[in-house]
Chain A
């Protein structure tokens, strides 16, 4: 029993993110079908209605926890300073950069840059030479298998265009 008393309070703020998103999305969804034919409404009103009901139960449960002091509105289970220390925020930013740049720089170059930068962030700058080599090897393998061998329509840029010209001219 005593261990239960020393249990840290539940971080309800983080747990509420998904239900709040769900309620917001359901209300938006209902607005988009309000004047639609019944075929567009019937199943979504049913599913959305149940989702709103279950979320309401969860909100009531959270209110009870808060009133009893069993939880706080903290987000400790979702964001902590550890996210900077482990490199998670850095990885998120490089991932956003990867998606944003791949269309203009092409698959191979962007993959190399993404792998090298994100691995360096996660490794805190250690093993830079090894990371550069492994990133280059992975990006080139990806190019060789998916673009050169299978001709998959991966995003193409400067590197792919140059290699195509080089290979075409022997």
Chain B
């Protein structure tokens, strides 16, 4: 980085700080829209498009970026407190976040999530800035074959979730994959398993599936208890102790935050991949190489850190192909592209020569947003965690009504509300009979993507299955995938042997 770039970065950083009056309210707006399933940064920017277009370029950019980051973080809040991920990107968060909340550690879990999100987001923003030319090329090397392996990294999480009862876990995961296959096939558009509903020709919409499997089914389960927190404990007075404890836990696992956020960054720069894949892959990798994999799913801080830092790593990752190549890495980035083109910004390598303040400004807006988020949201964790002490007779109907309507929002089909209800019944049956709803959801999210890349590979090779092993990068990823499956088994056996030695 030469001195002129450094001076531009410093100048842009202080300029962005001056937009605090836009950033702070936007952070709260982002937390709300991120926390309600069906809403997201993307559709909120669309709704507020007239406002965004009316603002000057810099203000509009700061607004969009802050909203994007805050919505990503906001999706994790209901995932932790009431087992309802606000977006598919937070679908892996409740695996360990919600058990913590049930143990009365909701405040601690929120603090861990906020620290992991902010550090993960900040760090990946800095890495993205420094390594932009290299990262921008990642998308060129990731073809359908390589993407198949990336998907398999995520899908292998089903096996981890299934660890307690492998057969039931696999049934849930493969049922999810079958449900994910509903819709027309990607090559000839032949309708499959649609029950004659035209609304399913595009596949199963994710938000109604998410709402039903997590929110509706959870609402029907929690009414058995007076409050979400176990032992029907009386609400604790707000205290800083739990927040600081959460911060301490997260900071003591800084290495974990770093490498899982880098997973998010790398997956984020691949156009078409997204936060859901990143968080599943990060969770799976975190569990695979953990010294205590058996604690995952029981309220383990590392199981919460991994998806949260990864999905915030994606946020900066999606900006790289947008700015350097003009290819948006996700839906929100695509909308940003439209807004910026309206303001006459042209993307590509010339952006950093012709309008360096705009290019660097986006990353600086992201960095400043994360700093402000850390300062404003962390103190609120002590109050937010009280959601877990609201009596379930009030909480359950509120969850059902607002999330079901959230299921309607993305496509505005009444059918989607019925679909969310159907998924709710399926989720309830699954929960009551020992099948993991997260395994079903992983299948629904990643199944169609895996099929798409698989078919593209086969089409390109005229049906030759060996195409899966035809690229160098793909083969490296296959080896890494095999290692990530085999090594944890070897480590586990070694740990078991070590534990058995004293007994002998």
Which A residues have a C-beta under 8 Å from some C-beta of B? 14-15, 17-19, 21-22, 25-26, 28-29, 32-33, 36-40, 42-44, 47-48, 50-51, 54-55, 57-58, 61, 77-78, 82, 86-88, 91-92, 94-96, 98-99, 102-103, 107, 111, 114-115, 118-119, 122-123, 131, 134, 138, 142, 146, 150-155
Contacts and interface: CB of A to CB of B under 8 A. Distances in A.
Contact of B398 (A86, A94, A138): A138
Contacts of A91: 219-220, 223, 396-397, 400
B193 A29 contact: yes
B165 to A, nearest CB: 10
A33 B178 CA distance: 13
Interface stretch (B133-141, B290-298, B323-331, B409-417): B409-417
Contacts of A138: 398, 401
Contact of A25 (B175, B402, B404, B454): B175
B53 interface: no
B interface SS class: helix
B192 A47 contact: no
Interface string B429-465: 1101111000000000001001100110011000100
The CB with the most chain A CB atoms within 10 A, among B396, B418, B430, is that of: B396
Contacts of B392: 122
A50 B433 CA distance: 21
Contact of B414 (A58, A131, A155): A155
B421 interface: yes
B432 A77 contact: yes
Interface of B: 44, 47-48, 167-168, 170-172, 174-175, 177-179, 181-182, 185-188, 190-195, 216, 219-220, 223-224, 392-394, 396-398, 400-402, 404-405, 408-409, 412, 414, 417-418, 421, 424, 426, 429-430, 432-435, 447, 450-451, 454-455, 458-459, 463
Contacts of B424: 95
Given A58-B167, A95-B421, A122 B223 contact: yes
Given A29-B181, A43-B455, A142-B402, A51 B47 contact: no
A36 B397 CA distance: 44
B401 A111 contact: yes
12 contacts: A32-B194, A39-B185, A47-B177, A51-B171, A51-B177, A58-B168, A78-B433, A86-B223, A91-B397, A99-B418, A153-B409, A154-B409
A76 to B, nearest CB: 10
A37 B429 contact: no
A18 B172 contact: yes
B99 to A, nearest CB: 21
A142 B430 CA distance: 31
Given A18-B429, A40-B185, A44-B178, A57 B192 contact: no
Nearest to B33: A150
A43 B451 contact: yes
With most chain B CB atoms within 10 A of its CB, the pick from A29, A40, A51, A102 is A40
Contacts of A78: 429, 432-433
Contacts, number: 181
Nearest to B220: A88
Contacts of A111: 401, 405
A34 to B, nearest CB: 10
B178 A51 contact: yes
A26 B408 contact: no
A142 B181 CA distance: 35
A29 B185 contact: no
A88 to B, nearest CB: 6
Contacts of A131: 394
A77 B221 CA distance: 12
A22 B171 contact: yes
B171 A33 contact: no
B397 A119 contact: yes
Contacts of A40: 185, 187-188, 190, 192
A152 B47 contact: yes
B186 to A, nearest CB: 7
Nearest to B393: A122
B401 A98 contact: yes
Contacts of B47: 150-152
